[in-house]
Amino acid sequence: MKSAVLVFPGSNREGDAARALTMITGSKPAMVWHAETALPAGTDLVVLPGGFSYGDYLRCGAIAGRAAIMDAVREHAARGGLVLGICNGFQILCESGLLPGVLVRNARLRFICREALLKVERNDTPFTRRYAKGAVVRFPVAHGEGNYTADVETLKRLEGEGRVVFRYVSPGGQRDDTQVLNGAANSIGGIVSEKLNVLGLMPHPENHVDPVVGPTDGRALFESIAGALERA
């Protein structure tokens, strides 16, 4: 499979994303600078990594969401190509209009850097097919603006269409919207596009892939992508 990791000024997790992709899919991704206007020919997966693109100026992800390369990403997504946005990448996908809603300042204003528990709400997406449905996974989070917000209609539509893929849960595996770490509406940690080919999530699955570091719950996400592309 051919993947591309986008690099914006202020991205800082592109190395982690590239390492996880190389380790799990066996092929090294192309690193693509934001000012490019095209993706490398034959790109199957585009990854928007974490970081602080443009120093979070204006709104997090706002300026990167309008970068030159994003037109190519939109075309790639419209063709059904896979797009994965992690943390700042999720913020960029929302700002670019590829995913609905927006990520605002954490409800208690604190930057949260710790492990979070998430429930895998569905395993029939290209990103989650190697997880059991309802599985509770551990991914690290590191964000100041991960509080997912959308208008009532959008939230209703997302829930109705089953587009919430990752949801924050308590240690007991229960959803509690009043206790969610960053205040996200409906405990939303990650959502997919209508055609299930664009995933945005705040936690970092790419940081839990190596047993040397600890848990490896993130591996299955990249294995899922590789598997989905093999089958396609």
Partner 1 sequence: MKARVLVTLKSAVLDPQGKAIEGALRSLGVPGVASVRQGKVFDVELDAADPAKAEATLKEACEKLLANTVIETYRIEFVG
> Active-site residue among 76, 87, 94, 208?
87
Q: Is 113 a catalytic residue?
A: no
The contact pattern for partner 1, residues 132-151, with x = CB under 8 A and - = no contact, is: -----------------xxx
In the list 7, 18, 39, 62, the residue contacting partner 1 (rule: CB under 8 A) is: 62
Of 203, 186, 112, the closest CA to residue 151 belongs to: 186
Cβ proximity to partner 1: between 151 and 176 the closer is 151
Choose one: 2-10, 61-69, 166-174, 215-223; the region binding partner 1 (CB under 8 A): 61-69
**CA separation, residue 35 to residues 73, 140, 168 (Å):** 12, 30, 35
Q: Is 208 a catalytic residue?
A: no
> Active-site residue among 34, 76, 143, 204?
204
- Residue 61: what residue type? G
10 touches 53 (CB < 8 A): yes
Q: State yes or no: residue 108 binds partner 1 (CB under 8 A).
A: yes
Element (H, E) at 89: helix 88-96
Phi, psi (degrees; rounded to nearest 5) at 65: -60, -15
HSE of 56, CA atoms in CB hemisphere, 13 A: 15
Cβ proximity to partner 1: between 50 and 101 the closer is 101
Chain length of the chain? 232
Cβ proximity to partner 1: between 145 and 217 the closer is 145
Structure tokens at 215: 């848990």
Q: Is 76 a catalytic residue?
A: no
Interacting residue ranges for partner 1, rule: CB under 8 A:
58-59, 62-63, 66, 95, 100-102, 104-109, 149-151, 183
